[in-house]
Amino acid sequence: MSMRRLLVANRGEIALRIVRAARARGIETVLAASVADKDSQAAHEADRTIVIGAAPARSSYLDGRVLVHTALQTGCDALHPGYGFLSERASFAALCEANGIVFVGPTSESIRLVGDKLAARTLARAAGVSMVSGSEKVASVEEAQRIAAHIGYPVITKASAGGGGRGMLVARSAEDLSAGFDTSSHEAQEAFGDGTLYLERYVERARHVEVQVIGDGLGTILHFGERDCSLQRRYQKMMEEAPAAILSEQVRQRLHQAAIDLLAPIKYRNAGTVEFLYDAERDQFYFMEVNARIQVEHPVSEAVCGVDLIQLQLAVASGEPLHLTQADIVTRGHAIEVRILAEDPMRNFTPSPGRITTWAPPAGPGVRLDTAMCEGTLVPPYYDSMIGKLIVHGADRTQALERLRQALHDFVIEGIATNLQLLRAIAEHPDIASNQIDTRWSERVLLPAFALH
């Protein structure tokens, strides 16, 4: 089918990005906006904006019935959920399908198969993809302690229904599990409506590497290389790179094939990311999970592959075949993305909503900024604190880092607190230059040193 009118069911920079991608394909856009976002940049650029509810997300962006009703009332034949909010909710995709609205993402069945982390482990096992030793769902702290004794400490609890660090607890002893298990389950329940946890052996010095894919829904899966997302704070990504420079070419090819092997049997449709832990000491990767949506860090894959992944999403959702072959997708150079946050790192990363009085972004060769902010924009207190994504691209990692340092030096934001100074410290750190980090490096090395300043 030819997509004619698209409901954009998200906010901020991703909503703006979707509006512009749709416009490039000749698709009309209707933005579903909360009261707080009715005057946003995306609202100004969309063909039409409908206020769907109050500022809190539960009254607007998390109300699937209102979003589908808005799509139907405005004559939209498709809906793009962006990332976050309802983008990985199988019930929401099913609601769109039941009402004849094309969901720009995987089918509801695929989301069910990969969205539940335990179900995804079953798929990985069937595909022969290596996994860290772990468990099925764990019903009690006593059961968790029995399983952990068998796996061997340290272990980590994970939420079956979602990621983003919610429900995660590193336990180095039975006492740690006893002290934190209920809290982790409650956190998962609050975040995903499901408190089910499972256990995995915890890899001490792990890298987080993920493969970007798009499927046509007929069994063909293309990959767009991998990203290294190891620089994290409390399991939230701070910086992403493509490609993952730590991998050998042999391991890189095996990683890409593992991602394809996992998703091809379910005839996965649209964009997705298959996430792995990489143990550098053993030179081995292990499957973690599938994110059944476009991700925040997709621009680094776009930069090195020379593709527009949002437009590819729209093409696949319209029923078009993938006009690319794997041989057409060639990685060139190196790209890095950092997330610009309205948070104060010197005050335990306290959110900093307010009005931006100065917004002077960087420019230059290989510099891209995905944002919906400008001078005078009011950053609301109701949502995620990310206000932009700075992406740099260079001929190699050294040049990309040089461009990142310069861009961060040139970036001026006033009126609110941001993490720009912390990002500058990251870009200048010798461990970043030498690529000697892991998923806990920021807590172990960066943040204690930064706090002293």
**Residues with catalytic annotation?**
293
Distance between CA 67 and CA 394 in Å, rounded?
A: 40
CA 52, chain centre distance (Å):
25
Q: Which of 436, 437, 438, 387 is nearest to 413 (CA)?
A: 387
In sequence order, what are the beta bridge partners of 338? Answer: 239, 390
Contacts of 150-153 with C-beta under 8 Å, sequence gap 24+, read 151/199, 151/200, 151/201, 152/201, 153/202
Distance between CA 451 and CA 407 in Å, rounded?
A: 23
Helix axes 309-317, 298-305, angle to 10 degrees: 100
Distance between CA 362 and CA 369 in Å, rounded?
A: 8
Distance between CA 321 and CA 341 in Å, rounded?
A: 37
Give CA torsion, residues 353, 359, 363, 366, to 10 deg: 10
Distance between CA 245 and CA 224 in Å, rounded?
A: 15
**Do residues 79 and 4 touch, judged by C-beta distance below 8 A?**
no
Composition of the chain by helix, strand, coil, percent to 5: 40, 30, 35
| Distant-in-sequence, close-in-space partners of 119: CB < 8 Å, separation ≥ 6 | 112, 113
**What are the phi and psi torsion angles at 27 (to 5°)?**
-100, 130
Per DSSP, 354 falls in state: E
User: How many CB atoms within 10 Å of residue 100?
Assistant: 9
Q: Which of 168, 234, 261, 244 is nearest to 209 (CA)?
A: 244
Q: Name the one residue in this structure whose structure tokens are 């990203």.
A: 227
